Amino acid sequence: MTDETTTEETPLADDKRERLLNDLSESFGEILVESHLRPHEDVWFRVKIEAWQDAAMVAKGAGFEYFGFLSAIDWHIAPEGRYEDTEFDAGLVEEDDEPVEIDSSTGYGGGDTRFQMLMQLYSLNEQVGMILKADVGDDMTVDTVRDVFPGADWHERETHEMFGISFRGHPTLQPLYLPTEFEGHPLRKDFPLLARQVKPWPGVVDIEEIPEHLEAQLEAEVMAAFEANEGGS
């Protein structure tokens, strides 16, 4: 039982993961684009999309043989369905011609394109998790990793219907959740959440900003309550 994650002041150095990062970077070689490490957490790798399948195989060879999940991220900054913009939702604004605004600057491992593949693997020996990423090109096609990790089968079907990413070599890319006649890819950011357009999210009220003049007072109350609690029990 390791208690490295629960200690109060975790030292930033994490030899095990750094060593793994270096080893794997070497094994990935040319196909690696970028890597990222948060000490005592997972390790992030971004690989070239052409080498997606190879990367999975390399990772499996390096001991990461436990398949967690596979999915994708849509970095498109879309105003639809965002809590701040309920007025926008109600209005059904047409903005087809505008270029897609992408912001993946906050993602670990970076990224250049709108869609990014995401796969999580575990190494049972090292007890370390790994996130594998890859930028999806304009052809929206990725090699399947179904042959490396059979569990990816359904995850790829889900990703296909939710994001519209195709998987080369996957025999049955039929919808998993959605009805066959469903059009669109629901988890894309530009897919409107109809419920929001019919009726603004009532939960918005809950997170209304506190008026300026009350903020200091409320904060003081909370802190007083907190300190009282800390002393007791």
Please provide the size of the chain in residues: 233
85-89 long-range contacts (CB < 8 A, ≥24 apart) are 86/196, 86/200, 86/201, 86/204, 87/200, 89/192, 89/193, 89/196, 89/197, 89/200
The piece of 26-34, 49-57, 135-143, 185-193 that touches another protein (CB under 8 A) is 185-193
Closest approach, Cβ 128 to another protein, in A, equals: 8
2 binds another protein (CB under 8 A): yes
Q: Quickly count: other Cβ atoms within 10 Å of residue 75's Cβ.
A: 20
CB-based contact 26:13 (threshold 8 Å): no
Closest approach, Cβ 70 to another protein, in A, equals: 9
Closest approach, Cβ 80 to another protein, in A, equals: 9
27 binds another protein (CB under 8 A): no
Beta-strand pair 43-47/32-37: antiparallel
Question: Interface residues with another protein (CB under 8 A)?
Answer: 1-3, 5-6, 8, 41-42, 44, 65-69, 71, 73-74, 81-83, 103, 106-108, 118, 120, 122, 124, 127, 129, 131, 149-151, 153-154, 162, 175-179, 186-187, 191, 193, 196, 201, 203, 206-207, 209-210, 218-219, 222-223, 226, 229-230, 233
